[in-house]
Chain A
Amino acid sequence: QSVLTQPPSVSGAPGQRVTISCTGSSSNIGAGYDVHWYQQLPGTAPKLLIYGNNNRPSGFPDRFSGSKSGTSASLAITGLQAEDEADYYCQSYDASLTGYNYVFGTGTKVTVI
């Protein structure tokens, strides 16, 4: 169903850096549409983490950063902390389907080991 592909899981020790990829195509990320990232803590609604590819809303530390290149985007978490354990989703727009189409990634579970 999802047109944006993410790795199912990534893990890292406290203090390490992890990255999450979001792979799209020429009809979404590659077409120039922006990418947003959301953090979903267990049992809660997603929360906007990164907007416009690499901008953080107030409330999230600068340990979180985003980037976009070609048909892909990435989320990096540096100085990994236990509280970062969550599911992370990318989101963009896809122009290949009829109608209006916001699309989400498949989601990545981050585990702090």
Chain B
Amino acid sequence: QVQLQQSGPGLVKPSQTLSVTCAISGDSVSSNSATWNWIRQSPSRGLEWLGRTYYRSKWHNDYAESVKSRITANPDTSRNQFSLQLNSVTPEDTAVYYCARGADYYDSSGNLFLEAFDFWGQGTMVTVSS
């Protein structure tokens, strides 16, 4: 069973960098079939996918346009975890941040579905305030 355990500070000052880490058990950050995602949730923005890191012969990243200039998602293979860094935060970045595994699912004919987020971390409430 895959488990994702998040850690990180709950309070960040405006203009500083938000950092959250997600430790993986039951899978590998270097898996050739999974992706490792960051998603946040706030009352104003709902659920918002932020970005992902994954390994397919080499490391790749994809980021949402809304945060592309400020976000970094990095793997840490020595600790089997991955991290989120969001720079230059404002109060609008106040949210619950989740890590989640993206996995491939197939139908009975072997056709691949759109990747689904099948395991989630417990969430980290991050408040941006001075």
Interface of A with B (CB < 8 Å)?
A: 1-2, 33-34, 36, 38, 44-48, 51-53, 55, 57, 89, 91-93, 97-107
B79 at the interface (CB under 8 A from A): no
C-alpha gap A107/B43 in the complex (Å): 11
B36 at the interface (CB under 8 A from A): no
Q: Which residue of A lies closest to B4 (CB)?
A: A45
B82 at the interface (CB under 8 A from A): no
- Knowing A99-B63, A104-B46, A106-B46 are in contact, say whether A51-B122 is a contact too (CB < 8 A): no
C-alpha gap A93/B117 in the complex (Å): 13
Interface of B with A (CB < 8 Å)?
A: 37, 44-49, 51-52, 62-65, 68, 98, 100, 105, 107, 113-114, 116-118, 120-123
Q: Output the residue of A2, A36, A51 with the most chain B CB within 10 A.
A: A51
Indicate which residue in A34, A45, A57 contacts B98 across the interface (CB closer than 8 Å): A45
Q: Output the residue of B44, B98, B107, B114 with the most chain A CB within 10 A.
A: B114
Q: Which residue of A lies closest to B114 (CB)?
A: A34
Contact A57 B114 (CB under 8 A): no
* In the complex, chain A residues whose CB is within 8 Å of the CB of B37: 102
- Knowing A34-B114, A57-B118 are in contact, say whether A1-B49 is a contact too (CB < 8 A): no
Contact B49 A101 (CB under 8 A): yes
Nearest-neighbour CB distance to chain A for B28, whole angstroms, equals 20
* In the complex, chain A residues whose CB is within 8 Å of the CB of B48: 1, 104
Nearest-neighbour CB distance to chain A for B45, whole angstroms, equals 5
Q: Which residue of B lies closest to A38 (CB)?
A: B117
Contact A104 B47 (CB under 8 A): yes
* In the complex, chain B residues whose CB is within 8 Å of the CB of A100: 51-52, 62-64
C-alpha gap A26/B31 in the complex (Å): 33
